[in-house]
Structure 1
Amino acid sequence: MRERYTRMTGRRAKTKLLDELVEVTGWERKHANKVILGQNRKSGTKGQRGAPAQYNGAAIEALKSCWLVMNQPCGKRMKDMLLIWVPYLEVSDEVQQQLKTISAASIDRSLKNFKVTAGKKVRPPKPASGVKILVEVRAESWSTCEPEWTEVDTVAHCGGDMSGSFVWTLTSVDAASGWTELRAIWNRGQHASLEGLESIYESQPFKLLGVDSDNGGEFLNYFVYDWLKKKDIHQTRSRPYF
């Protein structure tokens, strides 16, 4: 083959050599050129592509934690929120600087795989169907002058956005006297609602004979049902969608 290129030099010789290498090996022309130049990747490895990583593992972990606590915002919203949150994070100065300068696109790219495994946003609990059957529906209005019969409900403090986790107010109002008890609970969960009812039960100056609520899952669940039954407190609920 060397004799065939004795009269061909320079670019023409290199082009001809590359043409024959592609023809013999079946490689792509770009790959064959890299092999000739000694730039081929080692066998069994993919090599490193793209720009080097700008954010270390500690910064990514802090980003994941913030994303969950911030109620899983998109990258554009989270970028502005990070400027407020970063000074309060217990991380190194290097990590703080990385979180302050990270772009919205880099946030979404860094959290792309984590969002799939992190799960959906927390939603208020649904009522247990078995408990709904056990709790009778109260259709008439309160007509008692005797205290100890209360209406309970929850009020959301969400700023108009019901997604995610936030504080609710558990409200208990005595039908006869108007005595009102308020308790702050987190996310209207079943355990949090039960703790609020227990606190009200211990604080109000009279016994509790009955509790009436809507059909929300914070009241129609086995935790609340078993506790009321143990305390011999009559539980009722309103008609659905009424």
Structure 2
Amino acid sequence: MDETKLRTIAQLQEFLGATPEVKFTLAAGAGAGAGDAQRYEHISRVLKRFDYPRLKKAERGVVLTYLRRTSGYSRPQITRLVARWEENRLAAVPLAKRYRAPAAPFARKYTGGDVELLVQVDRANEDVCGPAIAHLLRRAYTVYGDKDYERLAGLSVSHLYNLRKSAGYQKLRVSFTKTRPVCNPIGVRKAPRPNGRAGWVRIDSVHQGDLDGIKGVYHITCVDSVSQWQVEACVEGISEAFLLPVLQAVIAQFPFEIEGFHSDNGSEYINHKVAKMLEKLRIEQTKSRARQSNDNALAESKNASVVRKHMGYSHIPKKYAKPINAFYVGVFNSWLNLHRPCLFATEVVSETGKIKKVYKNKDAKTPLERLVQLNEKGLVKFKAGITLEDLLAQAKEKTDLQAAREMQKAKADLFELFNKPKRKLQA
């Protein structure tokens, strides 16, 4: 391209507007090292043709944009080259490359044999700190006179770590670190054994999605192991500031005494503040065992069959945690326990003597109906001021269909709050 006909700033602006991209190519017959030389010559020619030092600020910006477009150089590099051109233009010193590749590569000071010696010293001393290894290398030459350590005797501590990161060292020295088990004294690592009695709850938390790196609300699922009496709650986060008050409210919503509290090994439940709260209530705290995925399976299955089914997977911002929790306390939890049937397993002994859990159609019943059966056997201890008759009377206030419709109406109002369109700004 012959760009020498561009003589005015207006012509440059038209050129920039009409050509979004221009690729700089070498002239025919140019050598491999002539690329920068031709670019420098082009930059000097343009600056001189437009008399760059006398241009206004806006006009200089157009020229610099034109040079970046035609030369392919970055903005900082064009700025440096223009500054150097202005500095040397009176002395008529042309732009030229001031850097070049070294004539010879840097000499290697430490050989592969030195790296092998370093590996031997590190292995024998079990990777002590760098200053200690450097001191041992120095002693090997100065005290014991081993000439093999002559170069390593002057090895600096900082370069010692560089050698440890080198490919030669890593090839000779491969170390494996086993996963260390977490030794947390909080809680007993075992599966709870309610022995058919109500009051041993399982708890788990489920996250309501991310959006642009922002966390959504967290749902807390707490369910009794035997009666499947379930309490749902919602918090903004699973830190202690949000979780402790909600845990107290969850435990308070159960109509019977809680004797066992089982969770996985997450830090939201395995911490000193939760342990102190449970100890004050005289509740045994247990946590899931390693490689025993069924220890907390009941709470996790409720996350899928209840939380995900009714709340979905879409992101819900944290600011809606209080309305969701109010929906749980006011409508949802009572519908779950008084009107929603659950399947209860029946243990059957097979021909081989193995106990299997079978879910029969006749075993479908609500958690309240299950409490009635447990109460007849004396396997449930109600809290003071709460009787089974009160719960049965509450369940008869509305039919199962009415309760389900009331829950669906409240849920629709709740989701309408989430999906409420934002007000458009008036012009």
TM over 0.5: no
TM-score w.r.t. length of structure 2:
0.25
Larger Rg: 2
Q: Which has the higher contact order (CA 8 A, sep 6+)?
A: 1
